[in-house]
Structure 1
Amino acid sequence: MNDSTNTTALSRRTFIKSSSLAAAGFVIVPRHVLGGKGFIAPSDKLNIAGVGAGGKALVNLPNAYNNGTDNIVALCDVDDRQAKEARTKWPKAKYVKDYRVLLDKDNKSFDAVIVTTPDHMHAPIAMAAMQLGKHVYVEKPLTHDIYEARMLTEAARKYKVVTQMGNQGSSGDDTRNIETWIQQGVIGEVHTVHCWTNRPVWPQGVPTPTAKMQVPKEVDWDLWLGTAPYREYHEAYMPFRWRGWWDYGTGALGDMGCHIMDVPFRALKLGYPTAVECSVGSVYADFFKEAHYADSCPPSSVVYLKFPARGNMPAVDFSWSDGGILPKRPEELLPEEPMGDEDGGMIFEGTKVKLIAGMWGRKPLLLPTSRMKDTKLPASAIPMVEKGPEGHQQQWVQACKKGFGAYTSSPFDSAGPLTETVIMGNLAVRSYTYQQPKADGKGFTFPGRKKLLWDGQNMKITNFDEANQFVKREYRSGWHL
């Protein structure tokens, strides 16, 4: 995109020159007028590179492209099979497998980057793009660990780029309505929140595969591993199934937390939690023999977070559950009324009434639901986005054209702290299942099964140092943030 300066006030010299040309019969007509109705000048289009061309990219890229109002000029994917559809749709786009080649050699052809890769590669790709001054859109969760989220948040400010995380519900009307109702006191002071999801819908709590498999010819396995420790290829890891493996994904919590927890996080201005604890579902390898699979996320978990008081808002007890585990059904909800929706939901407990909604805050209802007829609900004053399924990505595209400081629903300033909080739940889960050999060498203990105290400013667990290994992971040799 070539930046141009728009001004409403002409200088005296420009005015005289324009007047003289008009008098002589010369009129300067804007490019979009010359092109006719619907024409968009090339200088008004954003040039976009997609790192990760399959999966969710097949939503992000078309929504950003928006039938040609903007350009997809480059594609990158380590798996030619995943990239096939996107390459067919944009045959003129430059295609490479290594994002470093794209950013090092071809970066002058694009202004912005959409990152749609497994979680473990979000941070290094986004950081490298921002360091080149590229605007970035990154799928949720923003990063794989807490440290990465903090670094991307700071980098977005430093490099003054437009950012957006791919939690599209943050651009939805329901999210904004809940935020408005809560902050204007409709349900009173909120002291308790419950969030849940039906995920995972992929394998978790499974053993690490031991069989050797041939790497498909279309896949660059070493590039796919990227920052993660080296291991032999197996189809159990890709595509999509990577979500349930700690080296690559962040489990059900990482996948859905940035969608569901986002609503209470912004409505209640939560910030960093001060404590976290959890429990996880058990897996049995044999009769009476509990299995502990360190590589794989557990099949289900419940996480409890404690948030301190904020201004005139009280402290909040916050619970998260996944793998089919639900919080207690509110007494005010009638037996036949649905609790959330098929993807999950949330419950806010206020000092006046309770509020329930589905994922992304869908269809929010005061409880009992009969209150919806009797309560005058305030309208949201928070900016809405363009209607339609492409709204979240297009909001980012339009902001990129305006430049740093333009509004997006989920910029890294808010997406970063949200991701830190979501990943804090995973820190607790991994600490809970952390195995330490017994002194006599016979078996293991689980010292992480306790309440963990969190110093958010310094990114540190203060009462169980072993847990801090999950704040920042070590990258494989040759990779860096």
Structure 2
Amino acid sequence: MTHRLIRRDFLRTGAALLALGMAGRRAVAVDANSKLRTAHIGVGGMGGADLGSIASHGSVEVAALCDVDSGNLDVAAGSFPNAKKFKDFREMITAMGDTIDAVVVSTPDHTHAPAAMTAMLAGKPVYCQKPLTHEVFEARKLRLFAEEKKLVTQMGIQVHSSSVYRRAVQMIQSGVIGKVSQVHAWSNKNWGYDGPAFEGDHKVPGKLDWNLWLGTTKERPFVPGVYHPGNWRKLIDFGTGTLGDMGVHIFDTPYAALELTTPKWAKTTCRAPTGVGHPEENIVEYEFPATKHTTESLSWKWYDGGFAPPKSEALQLPAGLNLPGQGALFVGEGGYMLLPHVGEAVLFPQEKFKDYVPPQVEDQNHYHQWVDACMGKGTTSAPFSYGGPLTESLLLGVVANRYPDTKLMWDAEKLEVTNLAEANQLIKREYRDGFKVEGLS
């Protein structure tokens, strides 16, 4: 049965609706002495970091904490003893109702969309960690719903607001290397697993609600050190591999700078699918339609694991140049820009650009930006209207690694692979009974 939260007006009684300028996002109504009351879904690991960063804003009051692991919950509650504790985010959002103003989602990838949509169905602004979703369909639905309801949203790509990445965007858009024909992006991290299926039925730790951790995915036995806490990013049912984890950061600046939309196709070079884990090594190729910052089309190539970084000579950079373990290269008609993750851009040929003075750009606090926007002060730089399409593009590459060496032709309007019908079963998954969510199931 579809889980449907009763929609509540998330504005405080008698308060007026505020607008967020051109972005048109609905903000929480506040006065000078008010606090933004936040609820946090997932408070261990990255969730703990998100919690601390959001709470560091002087106008935030942490009102509720939720985690399926009571150990994580107890640690977080030690810092926020007045916050109410929950293990099921659906119960939290229903029970807290109008006593929370906004929701932060910091769970494993497979729970991003169910948690974020449940919060938005209740009228809450959402900060959701990257990648925005586990499936392409989910990313489209979150974006459309957030836009329809004019909710303040932010995808958790914190480096998006860093000065080095914002400066790189300005440099590319100023035309310093001319129109861009190619992007090469890479990460030498390995969030893949080439091994066999996991066996055994082990005892679930008493502090963990295994059923809730699985959430929308199919049931399976617990295996220590594999799922929680462990290597869920490597597994196809829960994570999105290196491409989804690091690719979203490293794709972000080229995607924003070139104002890209959706790819025409994606193709992955990797080992044959196992049905268990993402490949440990991938090369993913895309073609994007032209924009005002690109040539007639844009070729994009991603390398991860043992394929990264690519050889500098293959990228037409100076022979022997020591490339960073993670980064991106823009190939323009008038030069090249190498952008380490996270570091200052370098222009090539260096002699040509020796007198170039980069623009001055200040760091911004990605978390505080969202809090301010929720309170009617400014806008977010990575709302779901941006994070959704970026995630869709990334995840098409994740789908392609299940069909090695096959070019998946993509119809973005229909959310459909046009030349391989069976691939469409990976665009949208079926949620498990008891965990269905309106708008996603």
- After superposition, the Cα gap between the structure-2 partners of 1:241 and 1:273, relative to the gap in structure 1 and judged at 3 Å, is same
Structure 1 stretches of 5 or more lacking a match?
Answer: 8-39, 283-291, 433-448
Instruction: Give the corresponding residue for 1:471.
Output: 427
- After TM superposition, the score normalised by the length of structure 2 is 0.88
Is it true that 1:374 corresponds to 2:355 in the alignment?
yes
Instruction: Give the corresponding residue for 2:407.
Output: 451
Aligned residues between the structures: 410
- Structure 2 residue aligned with 1:141, among 127, 131, 135? 131
- Contact 2:268 2:403 (C-alpha < 8 Å) held by counterparts: no
- Equivalent-residue separation in structure 1 for 2:214 and 2:392 (angstroms): 23
Instruction: Give the corresponding residue for 1:81.
Output: 71
Structure 2 stretches of 5 or more lacking a match?
Answer: 1-10, 19-29
Is it true that 1:210 corresponds to 2:199 in the alignment?
yes
- Contact 1:180 1:379 (C-alpha < 8 Å) held by counterparts: no
- Quote how far apart the aligned CAs of 1:311 are: 4.3
- Quote how far apart the aligned CAs of 1:254 are: 0.7
Instruction: Give the corresponding residue for 2:375.
Output: 401
Name whichever of 63-72 and 301-310 sits farther off: 63-72
Instruction: Give the corresponding residue for 1:319.
Output: 301
SS at match of 1:44: coil
- Structure 2 residue aligned with 1:328, among 311, 318, 330? 311
- After superposition, the Cα gap between the structure-2 partners of 1:203 and 1:176, relative to the gap in structure 1 and judged at 3 Å, is closer
Is it true that 1:225 corresponds to 2:214 in the alignment?
yes
Give the partner amino acid of 2:243.
Answer: L
- After TM superposition, the score normalised by the length of structure 1 is 0.81
SS at match of 2:248: helix
SS at match of 2:229: coil
Instruction: Give the corresponding residue for 1:37.
Output: none
Is it true that 1:305 corresponds to 2:294 in the alignment?
no
- Contact 1:115 1:126 (C-alpha < 8 Å) held by counterparts: yes
Q: Which of 1 and 2 has greater Rg?
A: 1
- Equivalent-residue separation in structure 2 for 1:312 and 1:223 (angstroms): 45
- After superposition, the Cα gap between the structure-2 partners of 1:43 and 1:130, relative to the gap in structure 1 and judged at 3 Å, is farther
- After superposition, the Cα gap between the structure-2 partners of 1:71 and 1:369, relative to the gap in structure 1 and judged at 3 Å, is farther
- Contact 1:131 1:159 (C-alpha < 8 Å) held by counterparts: no
- Deviation track 1:359-398 (CA, whole Å, cap 9, x = no partner) reads 25x2111013455531243456xxx554xxxx11111111
- Contact 2:173 2:293 (C-alpha < 8 Å) held by counterparts: no
- Equivalent-residue separation in structure 2 for 1:471 and 1:254 (angstroms): 15
Instruction: Give the corresponding residue for 1:296.
Output: 277
- Equivalent-residue separation in structure 2 for 1:166 and 1:271 (angstroms): 20
- Quote how far apart the aligned CAs of 1:327 are: 2.4
- Structure 2 residue aligned with 1:359, among 329, 332, 341? 341
- After superposition, the Cα gap between the structure-2 partners of 1:399 and 1:312, relative to the gap in structure 1 and judged at 3 Å, is closer
Instruction: Give the corresponding residue for 2:25.
Output: none
- Deviation track 1:187-238 (CA, whole Å, cap 9, x = no partner) reads 01100000001222x5611222112210000011111000001111112111
- Equivalent-residue separation in structure 1 for 2:136 and 2:181 (angstroms): 25
- Contact 2:268 2:401 (C-alpha < 8 Å) held by counterparts: yes
- Deviation track 1:229-273 (CA, whole Å, cap 9, x = no partner) reads 111111211114111111111111111111000111011111000
- Structure 1 residue aligned with 2:223, among 222, 231, 234? 234
